[in-house]
Amino acid sequence: MIVVPELARLGWRDRIALKVGIWVIEHTVHPGTGHAEEMLRLHAADEVASRELRSLHWLPPR
């Protein structure tokens, strides 16, 4: 949580700097994924890759 003073109490330069700072934060910070979701994503990608390799067993060698 960010606590912001009343804009009426700030000078014009501080208001602009605050607005730009908030805009930058909103456009650059992404919600993080939890460890469990990341591990699940990695496991699913590994599973897909291994299934793809196993499905190629019937192809003749080059």
Rg of the chain on CA atoms, in Å: 25
Confidence of residue 7 (pLDDT cuts 50, 70, 90): confident
How confident is the model at residue 45, as a pLDDT? 94
Q: Rounded distance, CA 12 to CA 20, Å?
A: 12
Q: Rounded distance, CA 54 to CA 50, Å?
A: 6
How confident is the model at residue 50, as a pLDDT? 92
More confident residue, 20 or 2: 20
Name the pTM for this structure: 0.43
Q: Give pLDDT tens digits for 8-61.
A: 888 999 999 999 998 888 888 767 767 888 889 899 999 999 998 888 877 777
